[in-house]
Amino acid sequence: MYIPKPLEDRITIPHLKQLKQQAEKFACLTAYDYSFARLLEECGVEVVLVGDSLGMVIQGHETTIPVTLDDIKYHGRAVAAGLQNAMLMLDMPFGSLNSPQQALDHASELIKQTEAQVVKLEGWESQLPIVENLAHFGIATCAHLGLQPQMVHKMGGYRVQGKAEGAAAQMLATAVDLEGAGADILLLECVPAGLAAEITATLTIPVIGIGAGPHVDGQILVLQDVLNVTAGKKPRFSKNFMQDQSSIQDAIARYVSEVKSGKFPDESHSFA
């Protein structure tokens, strides 16, 4: 059985970059409260995201769109109370990024109230001026490409992105531009494994994947999927880590172990 290894040092952006350079995988998960944040940290999860997925798994909405800045603040403060060394990342919710100035005001407010280290933002090329502005004022960002759940209606559903040649080239170019604009981390959601591998090899910043295959620097899943308590159909890229485990702690420790050893994700959780 995998023995959880609590984090010994504060996880920082340079630390994640070092892991990338050493080709060491890191584990990320979502959390929305103090108790799970503590447990994740005890199991060695390096990055904890207060995702706007809370709109679906905590609040029971059909999409992430109704989540407010106050929701992220509330859950962000609760998660922050449970973390000592793991990196805390917060999602910027739908409607909080309508201009570089608005994004700066909202990101500053979130960081002041939660002491999060990184904010994550969705958007295609529209992220560029926002990332640039946040970087200018010293705010660390995780840009999010591929499937963008906040744009589900515009995209016409939750679908794998970057499959067509032109779309793949566009995603690679945008990823390079985002790194150039000052993004500190990139997250790829539902992207063909080959494209995610190419983006990861091209960028110097760490790349986190969810449904992006095994050849990225870190993996993330929604906690409820890992614990098999998500209602309805489970996404193909997720895995029930409770199977064959006798406690939640064992399941999370198993997730960390499989990410670090490269066992998760395999082909059955990836897209071609």
Annotated catalytic residues are: 189
Report the residue from 53, 96, 230, 238 that binds ligand KIV according to the rule CB under 6 A.
Answer: 53
Number of shown-chain residues binding ligand KIV (CB under 6 A) = 11
User: At closest approach, how far in Å is the CB of 262 from ligand KIV?
Assistant: 20
Cα 128 to Cα 196: distance, rounded to the nearest angstrom: 20
Residues 105-144 that bind ligand KIV (CB under 6 A): none
Q: Exposure pattern of 33-63 as b/e (b: 16+ CB <10 Å)? A: bbebbbbbbbbbbbbbbbbbbbbbbbeeeee
Residue type, 16: L
x/- contact string, 21-50, with ligand KIV (CB under 6 A)?
---------x------------------x-
Nearer to ligand KIV, 153 or 166 (CB): 153
Q: From 139, 124, 217, select the one nearest 178 (Cα to Cα).
A: 124
Residue 8 or 62: the one with the smaller Cβ distance to ligand KIV is 62
Residue 204: which residues within 8 A CB-CB, separation 6 or more?
Answer: 17, 20, 179
Q: Which of 4, 44, 51, 206 binds ligand KIV (CB under 6 A)?
A: 51
Which residues, 139 to 178, sit near ligand KIV by CB under 6 A? none
Count of beta carbons in the 10 Å neighbourhood of residue 269: 20
**Backbone φ and ψ of 8, nearest 5°:** -95, -30
Residue with nearest beta carbon to ligand KIV: 51
Which helix (H) or strand (E) covers residue 211, if one does?
Answer: none
- Report the alpha-carbon distance of residue 257 to residue 12 in Å, rounded: 21
Q: Which of 220, 226, 248, 259 binds ligand KIV (CB under 6 A)?
A: 220
**248 binds ligand KIV, rule: CB under 6 A:** no
Under the binding rule (CB under 6 A), the answer on residue 91 touching ligand KIV is yes
Q: Is 225 in the site for ligand KIV (CB under 6 A)?
A: no
The partner residues of 189 in beta bridges, in order of sequence, read: 146, 210
Measured between alpha carbons, how far is 52 from 163 in angstroms, rounded to an integer? 25
Which residues of the shown chain bind ligand KIV in the complex (CB under 6 A)? 30, 49, 51-53, 91, 187, 189, 210, 220, 222
